[in-house]
Amino acid sequence: MEHGLLGLLLTHGSYALLFVALMAGGVGLPLPEDLVLLTGGTLAHLGVVKLPVVIGVCFAGVLSGDLLLFHTARKLGPRIYEKRWMKALLTPGRRTRISGLYARFGGRVIFLGRYLSVLRVPLFAMAAIQGMKTRTFLLWDALALSLSAPLLVSLGYLFSHSVSRVTAGVGHAEHVLAIVAVGLFAGFILVHALRARRAG
């Protein structure tokens, strides 16, 4: 599946195709976001697209997909929890814990969720259902994406000579980004706790 997608994008690659693939992946279709970003970098190395432009296009494609998911979830409301795939990812207990995180930390949970590929869609959907403002969602999602999109596109650019190394790079990049995100989130929690202690 992944090599087939990579081959398709490399053969017919364009800014428009990358944008559409990322937008579709953002709403849950089986188009791995990270693989598309890596492919964008590979296409830049091959001279099909320009690196600075493709980073911007990929950023816009992912953000557009996330926004579409956010508004779709808001429109569906709690009914989305009845979907089979959502039930598996968001058990009642997990929803309660995530709801508590949103109540306490707001949009910062979105920043962390961008790096958790398995929980990204349900976390974003929950934010919409719980009434998070669109501008808050976009702010934190864009901040996280400003780190991940350039990194993954650049990784694809640097290792474009080897498809297997490009695809293998997905896991490594996700691991590094997840560690950074968890560290930043822990820092947010620590600062929040210290401020609350001083205020008390």
Length of the chain: 200
User: How far apart, in whole angstroms, are the C-alpha atoms of residue 134 and residue 122?
Assistant: 16
User: How far apart, in whole angstroms, are the C-alpha atoms of residue 110 and residue 144?
Assistant: 8
pLDDT digit string, tens, across residues 115-172: 887 778 888 989 999 899 999 999 999 999 999 999 999 988 887 766 555 555 555 5
Are 157 and 41 contacting, i.e. CB atoms less than 8 angstroms apart? yes
pLDDT digit string, tens, across residues 34-53: 888 988 998 898 888 999 99
